[in-house]
Structure 1
Amino acid sequence: MTTLKDLSRHLNLSVTQVSRALNGYADVSEATRARVLAAASELAYQPNLSARKLVSGRSGIVGLVLQGTPASMTGDHFLTVIGGLSAEFSRRELQFVLHMADPEEDVIEVYRRLIDGGGLDGFVLIEPVTDDRRVAYLAQRGIPVIVHGRLFGGPAHAYYDIDNAEVGRVLTRHLLRHGHRRIAFLNGSPQRAYSEARRRGHVEALEEAGLPFDPGLHITASMDEKHGLVSAVKLFSGPAPHPTAVIASHLKIARGLVQGLSALGLRVPDDVSIVAHDDQLSDLAATGFEPPLTTTTSPIYDSWAPLADGLARLIAGAPIPAVQHTAAVDFVERGSVAAPRNERPAPRKNHHGDTR
């Protein structure tokens, strides 16, 4: 069995350096940490968690608390999140546990019991809501926590997020450049911090173009196909004027939207242009739509390593501002956007009277 001393001799580093690298201390360089982690993997090093806790006061275990499976994490998405986080914490010599709590129980009481039990060093928090009580409680208790996403306001907290306001801005600006002025936005739940950030970016882009924000065109619900399908019927089966373009905050929403438009006899992009945000889930691809969707893109799997690394650094004593990261989003133009019908050039007729 490989020990810390074996790793130390193999790397020509002191036992203290190796230990601090494995435990995520901020005073260890990234190059050294990478060397140590690679050697630990190569030599199949397994830490003695009981000994670690006696020496450091830490268990080497971190947790994620869920009260049921979030609506946005059904099917393969749930396994992707749990499996991705678990693998990244394992690479950092931390054990990751999922605690499924009773949906009816006060979540603060759940965290209180886990903290008072002394078995966990810190938490990952996903699906944050505005004024999230979990973040405030963990901050009050002085427990390391990193948020997938972030809150605007409230206590300072560590996070890994994408620029959700930029998602709203980029998609709206793209539609505006193509001449669209009546743009619907199918967003996630208004309780979710990322939904509010995307709405804010959308509003900013409209204001840049001198256009007002129409609350009637901003529809919020769970990020699923039903949202897209129901919204398609609501927006396009009633009296005119109808939107000429739609932003879908998730590809699942876009899939329901396309189904609804097809049932109404509307085509993309001839009748309605669509853009969406793409998390690059394994079971749903923007290129699988017909036509392929123009999207902003931020792979969900890019989150796992920064979240694991960030929590390990917090546990080791890193200050919160050093563990706050906002990732840029990419923009991919495909074939789902065209100019509104009333702004397209009229078809020309040849000398036979045929249009072309």
Structure 2
Amino acid sequence: MATLKDVAKEAGLSVTQTSRALNDHSDVSVATRERVKDIARSLQYRPNLSARKLVSGRSGLVGLVVPRTYDLASDSMFIEVVSGLSSEFARRDMQCVLHVAQEDEPIIPVYKRLVGNGALDGFVLIDPSHDDKRAAFLSKAKVPFVVHGRIGSDPGHAYFDIDNETIFHDITRHLTDLGHRRIALLNGVEGRTYVAARTRGYLRALTDSRIPPSDAIIRGGAMTESLGLIATVELFSDPANRPTAIICGSVRIAKGVYQALQGLGLSIPDQVSVFAHDDHIAQMKTEAFYPALSVTDAPMRESWQPLAACLDGAISGAPLSDLQVIGSHRTILRHSTAPPCQ
């Protein structure tokens, strides 16, 4: 394996000059930096992390902490998160280190240990809650982090997010414009910031259309097929609250809704319209649903690059205004929505 001395010899520079070039110091010309990096790549040089930390103050390591769950190893979304972030940080010559906390283990002591050993430059936080103790701890400890989502109405942290409130407002408004007045919402776990934003959008659209909201047709929980199936059966077991349309927080929920409606002998969209938000979960193609599912489309894979960029920027001391990014989405109307039957 090539060493820093090997790179310096090939470049005709001192070890110190070579190190400064590899670490993008401004006293080394751009041309020299690029030449040294090309040589390092050709020699397959990988810096020693301890030496790198001493020279630049950065290890190049960032952390992702997740709690252990019974189905973690088979969770396609979790696998996509880890592989996507790892790939994007690798493009920046950084490494994303996964730490799986023990089930029911208090999370703040985990972060204290990881911060205390000094090996990690920062953290990616996923699935944020309103009163997120992880973010509060890292902020107080002055450790850089980026959130997949937003915490609070005026976030003081780096983040990448989509406009969940507007997305669910627009979904709901599309259905009210078709004439639906009993629109069920199958959302995620209560307390999550994106769940609250989606509920706000849904309620605002109902208010815009002068439709009184009903808690009886709002459900939440882990976004699985089981939630969609069970919630749909419950909704249609109550004649007074049967919806004419169902909004699903994920495609997994929508799959369960489709299964339940088929079992109940109800036709989509003739008797019930279904609309979902699509994160692009592996092996769930919304155009292959029958009938094809209407969705708002914002692939999770489009999160990894901006999350990596924002955390890299936070570690480097970039201004916060450059580290708060809202992603785009599009609406795809297919065959699962129609005016309610009279």
- Structure 1 and Structure 2 fold alike (TM over 0.5): yes
SS at match of 2:24: helix
Q: Which residue of 2 aligns with 1:20?
A: 24
Residues 118-129 of structure 1: pairs in structure 2 closer than 5 A = 118-129=118-129
Corresponding position: 1:258 with 2:262: no
Q: Are the equivalent residues in 2 in contact too, given 1:136–1:154 (CA < 8 A)?
A: no
Q: Which residue of 2 aligns with 1:346?
A: none
Percent sequence identity over matched residues?
Answer: 44
Q: Are the equivalent residues in 1 in contact too, given 2:150–2:161 (CA < 8 A)?
A: yes
SS at match of 1:205: helix
How far the C-alpha of 1:7 sits from its partner, in A, is: 10
**Within 1, Cα distance between the matches of 2:246 and 2:228?**
10
**Within 2, Cα distance between the matches of 1:71 and 1:180?**
37
Residues 103-142 of structure 1: pairs in structure 2 closer than 5 A = 103-142=103-142
Cα distance change on mapping 1:76 and 1:236 into 2, 3 Å = same
**Within 2, Cα distance between the matches of 1:111 and 1:201?**
33
How far the C-alpha of 1:37 sits from its partner, in A, is: 8.2
**Within 2, Cα distance between the matches of 1:313 and 1:121?**
11
**Within 2, Cα distance between the matches of 1:71 and 1:130?**
25
How far the C-alpha of 1:155 sits from its partner, in A, is: 6.1
Q: Which residue of 2 aligns with 1:53?
A: 53
Name the count of aligned residue pairs: 331
Cα distance change on mapping 1:90 and 1:49 into 2, 3 Å = same
Corresponding position: 1:228 with 2:228: yes
Q: Are the equivalent residues in 1 in contact too, given 2:226–2:253 (CA < 8 A)?
A: yes
**Within 2, Cα distance between the matches of 1:69 and 1:330?**
32
Cα distance change on mapping 1:229 and 1:42 into 2, 3 Å = farther
How far the C-alpha of 1:161 sits from its partner, in A, is: 0.6
Q: Are the equivalent residues in 2 in contact too, given 1:228–1:253 (CA < 8 A)?
A: yes
SS at match of 2:325: strand
- The amino acid that maps onto 2:54 is L
Q: Are the equivalent residues in 2 in contact too, given 1:7–1:40 (CA < 8 A)?
A: no
Q: Which runs of 5+ in 2 are unaligned?
A: none
Q: Are the equivalent residues in 1 in contact too, given 2:235–2:241 (CA < 8 A)?
A: no
Q: Which residue of 1 aligns with 2:66?
A: 66
Q: Which residue of 2 aligns with 1:200?
A: 200
TM-score (norm 1): 0.85
Tell me whether 318-327 or 194-203 shows the greater mean CA deviation. Answer: 318-327
Spell out, residue by residue over 1:57-106, the C-alpha distance to the aligned partner (whole angstroms, 9 max, x if none).
22211111111149899522221111111111111111111011122221
Cα distance change on mapping 1:72 and 1:155 into 2, 3 Å = farther
Cα distance change on mapping 1:186 and 1:113 into 2, 3 Å = same
How far the C-alpha of 1:34 sits from its partner, in A, is: 11
Q: Which residue of 1 aligns with 2:84?
A: 84
Spell out, residue by residue over 1:22-59, the C-alpha distance to the aligned partner (whole angstroms, 9 max, x if none).
xxx9xx99xxx999989976774523322211112222
Tell me whether 49-58 or 165-174 shows the greater mean CA deviation. Answer: 49-58
Q: Are the equivalent residues in 2 in contact too, given 1:125–1:146 (CA < 8 A)?
A: yes
Q: Are the equivalent residues in 2 in contact too, given 1:72–1:222 (CA < 8 A)?
A: no
Q: Which residue of 2 aligns with 1:187?
A: 187
Q: Are the equivalent residues in 1 in contact too, given 2:147–2:157 (CA < 8 A)?
A: yes
Spell out, residue by residue over 1:205-237, the C-alpha distance to the aligned partner (whole angstroms, 9 max, x if none).
111112222222111111001110111111112
Corresponding position: 1:289 with 2:293: no
Corresponding position: 1:169 with 2:169: yes
Q: Are the equivalent residues in 2 in contact too, given 1:136–1:155 (CA < 8 A)?
A: no
SS at match of 1:226: helix
**Within 1, Cα distance between the matches of 2:123 and 2:288?**
36
Higher relative CO (Cα under 8 Å, sequence separation at least 6) belongs to 1
Cα distance change on mapping 1:197 and 1:6 into 2, 3 Å = farther
**Within 2, Cα distance between the matches of 1:258 and 1:147?**
33
Q: Which runs of 5+ in 1 are unaligned?
A: 343-356
Spell out, residue by residue over 1:121-172, the C-alpha distance to the aligned partner (whole angstroms, 9 max, x if none).
1101111111111101100000001011111248611111111112211110
**Within 1, Cα distance between the matches of 2:218 and 2:275?**
15
How far the C-alpha of 1:276 sits from its partner, in A, is: 0.2
**Within 2, Cα distance between the matches of 1:212 and 1:152?**
27
- The amino acid that maps onto 1:291 is P
SS at match of 1:240: helix
**Within 2, Cα distance between the matches of 1:7 and 1:178?**
69
SS at match of 1:265: coil
How far the C-alpha of 1:17 sits from its partner, in A, is: 6.0
How far the C-alpha of 1:5 sits from its partner, in A, is: 5.5
Cα distance change on mapping 1:115 and 1:341 into 2, 3 Å = same
Tell me whether 96-105 or 124-133 shows the greater mean CA deviation. Answer: 96-105
How far the C-alpha of 1:238 sits from its partner, in A, is: 2.1
Spell out, residue by residue over 1:294-337, the C-alpha distance to the aligned partner (whole angstroms, 9 max, x if none).
00010111111111111111111113332111112110010001
**Within 1, Cα distance between the matches of 2:35 and 2:306?**
18
Q: Which residue of 1 aligns with 2:97?
A: 97
TM-score (norm 2): 0.88
**Within 2, Cα distance between the matches of 1:36 and 1:263?**
65
**Within 2, Cα distance between the matches of 1:8 and 1:99?**
38
**Within 1, Cα distance between the matches of 2:34 and 2:217?**
49
